[in-house]
Amino acid sequence: METPGGVGDAVGRRRIGAYILPGDPVWLASSLSRYYPLLDDLVVVSPRSRRGWTGRELPVDECVAIVREVDVRGIHRVVWGEWEDHREPMHAETAQRQAGIDAIGDRVDWVLQIDNDEILPNPGALLDLMAEADARSCGAIEWPMRVLFRRLANGDYLEVCSRGGAPRYDYPGPIAVRAGATTIDARRCGGGFLRPVVRDDDRSLQLTQTPAKGELRVATLTHSEAIVHNSWGREPAAVHRKIRSWGHAAGIRGEVYYWTTWRPAPVLWRLMRNFHPFARGLWPRLVRTSDAKALLVDPDR
């Protein structure tokens, strides 16, 4: 499998590692192949039981096989363990992510923690922001994320947008942390962090709030450089499985959300407002978009 270029000599500026949680194969090849050329080290943090944070079975071996295919330089290692907490799955997620950071250790300067369903269109922009974070002594880098909510029959997606229909972005946590970082809530860490934002964006919920302690905002990105995040825009069986095994698992509430909000979205999307499953105001509306398909290694997955 070919990996995209475009990062040029920038790869040699600093050592970069990444960890992968092997629970979601759908966009893994598309995601990893984008940032793979940056990497000096790669760890796949795998549960021996092949079960996730809530005890649900995961396609671990399929994910490892995809990593092996993309990793044409043979730099990846599989680290085995167990991370399960049926009552507090977020605790298990945090521990598994920490295991990835710990396994990489001091082999690198920065550790990428880009989830399998997130595609970074321009890795070179991240390298530039690493230089900014180094200069400003920031220990982590967040990134704006476009949220795909539902894939339509023709391959287009329904994407979260602002109340007026303009682009808006989520910030679910850092995509890069310094080696040796300590996770405190999923991929979030303590201390100062750099938050690059899309220029002229004043609509995203996080940007309407006062900057958090340690947050340094820089308006430097374009819409096309935002990560495309596809937790939800996939086949019904995959979404149903995901909401029962993710760190925010909510039991019957998740089932109700799946059947009453997510499933009917292709018909009702023009009427949907404030429909995030647990964060009021985070997802105001939906808009139809077709550009995500161009980022995929395999558009049919």
Q: In the predicted model, is pLDDT for residue 2 greater than 50?
A: no
Angstrom distances, CA of residue 120 to CA of 72, 292, 294: 20, 11, 12
CA separation for the pair 93, 301 (Å, rounded)? 25
CB atoms within 10 A of CB 250: 15
pLDDT digits (tens, 9 = 90+) for 106-150: 999 999 999 999 999 999 999 999 999 999 999 999 999 999 999
Domains by residue range for the chain, with CATH: 8-295 (3.90.550)
Assess contact for 299 and 233: CB atoms under 8 A: no
Q: In the predicted model, is pLDDT for residue 186 greater than 90?
A: yes
Lowest-pLDDT range of 59-63, 165-169, 180-184, 247-251: 247-251
Lowest-pLDDT range of 90-94, 163-167, 291-295: 291-295
Tell me if the pTM is above 0.85.
Answer: yes
Q: Please state, rounded to an integer, the average pLDDT across all residues of the chain.
A: 91
The band of 8, judged by pLDDT with boundaries at 50, 70 and 90, is: very low
Per-residue model confidence (pLDDT) at position 245: 58
The band of 39, judged by pLDDT with boundaries at 50, 70 and 90, is: very high
More confident residue, 289 or 5: 289
- Mean pLDDT throughout 193-200? 96
What are the phi and psi torsion angles at 197 (to 5°)? -125, 160
The band of 4, judged by pLDDT with boundaries at 50, 70 and 90, is: very low
- Mean pLDDT throughout 217-232? 95
pLDDT digits (tens, 9 = 90+) for 260-282: 999 999 999 999 999 998 888 88
What are the phi and psi torsion angles at 249 (to 5°)? -50, 130
Per-residue model confidence (pLDDT) at position 247: 52
Percent of the chain with pLDDT over 90: 77
